[in-house]
Chain A
Amino acid sequence: MSVRNSSARTTGTRSNPTNSRSSRRRTFFTVAVLFAVIGVFLVRLVDIQVVQADSLTADSVGNRSVGQVVYGSRGEIVDANGVVLAGTVMRYNITMSPVNATPFKRIVDGEKVEISVAEAAAEIGAATGQTGDAILLTLSTALEANAKANFAYIAQKVDVDVLRAVQDLHIPWTYSENSPSRVYPNGAVAGNVLGFLSGEGVPQAGLESGQDACLASTNGSETYEKGADGVRIPGSSVTSTAAVDGGDVVTTIDSDLQWFVQQTLAARAQETGAAWATAVVQDAKTGKLLAVADYPSVDPNNVGGTENPDDRGSRAFTQSFEPGSTFKALTAASVLDAGVATLGTGVVAPYRYLPSNGANINDSHSHPDQQMTMTGVLIDSSNTGMSKFGELLTDQQRYDYMKAFGVGSATETGFPREDGGILHPAGEWDNQTSYATMFGQGLTTTALQVSSMYQTIANDGVRMPVQLVEGCRQSDGTVTNVPDATGTRVLSESAANDTSDILEMVYQKSWVQSKWNIPGYRVAAKTGTAQMPDGKGGYSNGYLVSVSGFAPADDPQYVVSVSIADPVKLNTSAAPAPVFQEIMSQVLKKYRAVPSGATAPDLPSTW
């Protein structure tokens, strides 16, 4: 406009047509240039604000801000009393920038001292427990692989003391990063049941694996802007995704009892040269597992310390075996419940019994024909006597009882890779199996299933679901995934109590009585000695010896089942009997079970 103004001034008049046209042209030209410039700006504006907006924003955020992972904490596994069996702790990785590893200056006693790379490496090594040379080797290896290597680990998963020792060195080319780790404060106590994680934090076995849905956490992230000096710019938090902590798994295990059971079992297993052994303590009224011990055990803090991978799991859950004579209690209970025999019924038990179907049954030691009641058959653990009682029921009837007792199907614990054992349908039993299943051969059970059988007898004939986990405790205190605790009646109360009385007689009259005697308490128990398979379809020379029972027999509260596989130095039930005695005594003492007042029943064993 000023152009037009000045032109008007210089020409002096507006009436000149030539001047007027030239002025208009200039105006048009100016406006056109102006629009062109505005157009360029507009295009650029749209380009920046709309077309490239996202990538530019991302670039700018990347330049200004730092992102960091906010770690969610994997849930704890706790015992019935809240003792932490598995927890998450923060560990730290010490890292370095090899390309920046150069000598630096440090002020020592007010003087600047130059610290060489080798000196720095030696100082780090002293803090992390490595040699300085090892660190220099890591450094040179990283630089050989990539001359501009900016990252290498010095030490991984060190605790806070080591981290602080390294940080106090103030070496400019060392850094640290968080690395959440799993820790098992009680070591091998329940280690076989707990399982463990891989180095990358992936669950490998046991409850860690089976309860991962409850335990797993979700990491969050946080991005904020920081100044050149690393201080967060106030109010600059850009995005943050909250981390979600995992829930806690509450188990039914009692860690103190678990330790005692493991210690006692391991001592006896070593003493007798056993291949492996398990012990189970179960609450008779609720079906809750109070202790599940395995030998050999694994310390989840040091999984590599247990060399055989098979020893790292829990055989109580995953290893089924032919139970042998402890199974006779189930047959006796079935016969009594069906009403086909009573405590007074007598049979003649020969050394060798050849039933009409062609089977061939004999006892473990030679003896003349004996007139026995069911009590006598169980005290002597006579196979022939048991066969004469067992054949009073059809195969199908006995099969149905076994299924009801939980034989042939995995228990309700939901433990990963739990073995259900082998129980073929009654129709598939051959003549020998038909009789062998009466005394615990020709089928397999886990230690847990045997324990559950005795729990059923102890609990007046009501089988409770075997329970290892109370539930998943969320951060707000609510417990979810609570397992069903509805019992099922397997036996009539009188049949269960009669069986209990027989087992009490077994406890009193057995040849191992002096080895499992618990003064002051009435106990019901049965031994078992079963040949072990050789893995080729036959039997080996090894025996699986076991004892299962419950106490106090007048008001059963606890079931203990001990199994020892192939104790080469003592292959009879004298091997597990003292373990049963010590564990049961400890259980009764720990839970303050009142000593039995009434005297035990006295049933006739002969007729």
Chain B
Amino acid sequence: MSDNLARAFIEHESSEREPFAAPARRGFRLVAPAPSRRARPRIFYALTAVAGMAAIIVAQLLLSVGISQGAYEISSLQSSQSELGRTAASVSEDLVRVSSPQSLAANAEALGMVTNSNPVYLRLSNGAVSGAPASASGSQAGAASLVPNALLTGSTLLTQLPDDAAATSGAVTITSAPVVPAGLAAPTTR
């Protein structure tokens, strides 16, 4: 700045003193044409710089649009992930609940199963029966669950499922004997 101003000041004075100070003029002649020669390239550079800046701005704009587009995508994916996580947690909670002993016992009982607390073992090596065989008495404490589970309130037993639901689940059960491939020989049991 100060350099520029000093030059302007000298130039001004020199133009005033021009008739009297001829020797000083020679020095300025050398300098003066130089800026005028560089004037055109300066505009070119300025334009280049402005264009470059514009390009950068546009590029940055496009980039940030892209990033924020990504942010929306991430946001929506995250919310769908958390929704799916909630669904998974809720479903596995249901699964754990119906696999509780109370639920299993109530369903088994509803299907007519009884427990046999009298274990008998057959030893395959010699065919010996260990234990004293007896028919199952179903001695175990009757149908009422004496071990409460508040989570099972309102859940239905398999046998109480409505007909259409039973039909749907029935479709899954195997209705015919599994087909044994002809190539497999029956194992010989000794």
Contact = CB atoms under 8 A, between A and B. Distances in A.
Interface of A: 1, 5, 8-9, 84, 87, 89-90, 159-161, 183-189, 231-234, 255-256, 259-260, 262-264, 266-267, 270, 297, 299, 301-302, 305, 519-520, 582, 585-586, 588-589, 594-595, 597
Contacts of A9: 12
Contacts of B86: 90, 160
A302 B148 CA distance: 9
Contact of B121 (A161, A188, A594): A594
Contacts of B121: 594-595
Contact of A266 (B117, B120, B130, B146): B146
Interface of B: 5, 8-9, 12, 67-68, 70-72, 74-75, 86-87, 89-90, 93, 96-97, 99-102, 105, 117-121, 130-132, 134, 139-142, 145-152
B118 A585 contact: yes
B15 to A, nearest CB: 12
Nearest to A259: B101
8 contacts: A5-B9, A5-B12, A8-B9, A188-B149, A189-B100, A259-B147, A260-B101, A263-B105
Given A84-B96, A520-B130, A187 B89 contact: no
- Give 3 closest A-B pairs by Cβ, nearest first: A187-B149, A519-B132, A267-B141
B177 to A, nearest CB: 31
Contacts of A90: 86, 89
Contacts of A302: 148, 150
A487 B24 CA distance: 114
A187 B102 contact: yes
- The B interface, classified by DSSP as helix, strand, loop or mixed, is helix
Contacts of A89: 89, 93
A117 to B, nearest CB: 28
B105 A259 contact: yes
A9 B16 CA distance: 11
B90 A161 contact: yes
B131 A582 contact: no
Contacts of A161: 90
B119 A585 contact: yes
Given A89-B89, A582-B117, A589-B119, A186 B100 contact: yes
Nearest to A271: B141
Contact of A299 (B97, B119, B149): B149
Given A266-B141, A520-B132, 10 more contacts: A160-B86, A185-B99, A187-B102, A188-B147, A189-B147, A267-B142, A267-B146, A585-B118, A585-B119, A589-B118
A162 B80 CA distance: 18
Contact of B131 (A183, A232, A260, A595): A595
B101 A266 contact: no
A519 B152 contact: no
Contact of B145 (A256, A263, A264): A263
Nearest to B13: A8
